[in-house]
Every structure is written in structure tokens, then in C-alpha cells.
């Protein structure tokens, strides 16, 4: 049985080796990948963020927690994306200009890949020109992630850049809401990675 509390604690403390050991053991016993994410790893990142807000944790602690989280995600990725699949379309994804947070973006990319789409991962700090590179590679959906209230405003520029060009722009990230999506005229918003897959399914149906 997976000890979700131990997994959560290991991510919060940035104990990469412990995260890897717990995730590997969970994989060996065929644990549910979504449960590992939803009951262990994602709440851990939320908790370290709350500690940061209360000045009980600082940037270095966020960084080591993020590294531990990424190590666990790397182990889960092949399970999420496994399946002999024919591509259903192409999505370009990136974290917007000024923003270096990539864990949520990576998770969304893995889930979209797992649902049978090709994904061009443009990384972090993406300006409009970077998103255009993804479109030049055949993406018909641009997915923007932002974790900062100071960088989410750049999504408006991305939406404006692709208006009327046959490319849909979808947005997400902790500070984003449906109201913000409506305000900037984006083609869709989702709160989490599973919702992002549903959005892509709808837009490419």
C-alpha cells in the first residue's frame, strides 16, 4: 500500500531519493498514477507554497521540493504516456514570458501526450515568437501556463497574436480563472491537467 503521507512529506522536504524510492515501489505494486499525483505529490507542492506565503519556507526550499517533484514525475511519465498511439493532433505548450514555473506545465504536457496528442514543449519564459515556433511545427493549439499574477497578463498578448489565424489558445495555472479567460478572449481555460485534456479533445473534435 502506498503511504501517501510519506510521499507528500518527502516532496515537501525535497528528499529526492525518498520520492524516487516511494514512487518506484508504488509503480512496482501497480498503484494508481492519479492517486500518487492527487493524494501525494500535488498537495505537497500546495503545502510548500502555503508555507512560503507564511514565511515558513524560502526559495531554496521551494527549489528542492520542485526537484523532488520533477524526479517523481519523470518516473510516472512513461506510465501516463504509454500506448501504441496514432497522433490525434499537435499542441504547443509553454510557460509564459517572465515565468519560470514548469511543474504544472510539465504535468499538463504529459497528460495531453498520454491522451494521444503530439506535444511541442516550448519550456518556460515563452514569448509570442516562441509560441509561433510551436505553430510552425504544426501545432493548432497553443497552451499557456502561468503561476504568477505578474506574468498571467502576458497571456493576453499571446491570445491577440493568434486571433484569426486558425490557432486556438488555451490557458491555465494557479492564478487563472474562467473569468480571466473570458476577459482576454482565450479559447478555453482549465483548472488542472485532466481538464486541459478535455479542452483539447473538445477543440480538436
Whole-number minimum distance, CB 69 to ligand B1M, in Å? 6
DSSP annotation of 126: B
Whole-number minimum distance, CB 48 to ligand B1M, in Å? 5
Whole-number minimum distance, CB 60 to ligand B1M, in Å? 8
Whole-number minimum distance, CB 51 to ligand B1M, in Å? 8
Q: Which is nearer to ligand B1M, 29 or 196 (CB)?
A: 196
Whole-number minimum distance, CB 150 to ligand B1M, in Å? 6
Q: Which is nearer to ligand B1M, 175 or 185 (CB)?
A: 175
Angle between helices 154-162 and 128-136 (to 10 degrees): 40
What nine digits make up the cell of 59?
526559495
Nearest residue to 95 (alpha-carbon basis) of 129, 133, 125, 139: 125
The single residue listed with the C-alpha cell 514525475 is 73
Q: Which is nearer to ligand B1M, 29 or 54 (CB)?
A: 54
Binding stretches for ligand B1M (CB under 6 A): 42, 45-46, 48-49, 52-53, 59, 62-63, 66, 98-105, 107-108, 143, 145, 147-149, 170-175, 190, 192-193, 196
Do β-strands 168-172 and 90-95 pair in parallel, antiparallel, or remain unpaired?
unpaired
Where residue 177 falls (left for φ over 0; alpha for ψ -120 to 50; beta otherwise) is beta
Whole-number minimum distance, CB 84 to ligand B1M, in Å? 26
* Alpha-carbon gap, residue 104 to 174, rounded angstroms: 9
* Alpha-carbon gap, residue 95 to 172, rounded angstroms: 10
What nine digits make up the cell of 54?
507564511
Q: Which is nearer to ligand B1M, 104 or 134 (CB)?
A: 104
* Alpha-carbon gap, residue 71 to 13, rounded angstroms: 14
What nine digits make up the cell of 2?
502506498
Q: Which is nearer to ligand B1M, 99 or 132 (CB)?
A: 99
Q: Which is nearer to ligand B1M, 1 or 55 (CB)?
A: 55
Amino acid at each position: 500500500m502506498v503511504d501517501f503521507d510519506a510521499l507528500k512529506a518527502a516532496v515537501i522536504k525535497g528528499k529526492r531519493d525518498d520520492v524516487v524510492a516511494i514512487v518506484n515501489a508504488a509503480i512496482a505494486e501497480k498503484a494508481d498514477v492519479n492517486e500518487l499525483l492527487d493524494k501525494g505529490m500535488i498537495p505537497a507542492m500546495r503545502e510548500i507554497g502555503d508555507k512560503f506565503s507564511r514565511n515558513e519556507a524560502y526559495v531554496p526550499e521551494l527549489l528542492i521540493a520542485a526537484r523532488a517533484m520533477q524526479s517523481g514525475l519523470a518516473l510516472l511519465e512513461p506510465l501516463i504516456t504509454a500506448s501504441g498511439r496514432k497522433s490525434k493532433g499537435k499542441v504547443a505548450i509553454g510557460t509564459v514570458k517572465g515565468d519560470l514555473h514548469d511543474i504544472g506545465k510539465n504535468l499538463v504536457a504529459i497528460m495531453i501526450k498520454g491522451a494521444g496528442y503530439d506535444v511541442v514543449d516550448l519550456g518556460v519564459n515563452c514569448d509570442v515568437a516562441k509560441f509561433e515556433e510551436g505553430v510552425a511545427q504544426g501545432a493548432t493549439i497553443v497552451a499557456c501556463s502561468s503561476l504568477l499574477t505578474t506574468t498571467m497578463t502576458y497571456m493576453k498578448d499571446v491570445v491577440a497574436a493568434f486571433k484569426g489565424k486558425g490557432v486556438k489558445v488555451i490557458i491555465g495555472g494557479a492564478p487563472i480563472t474562467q473569468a480571466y479567460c473570458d476577459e482576454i478572449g482565450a479559447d478555453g481555460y482549465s483548472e488542472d491537467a485532466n481538464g486541459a485534456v478535455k479542452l483539447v479533445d473538445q477543440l480538436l473534435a
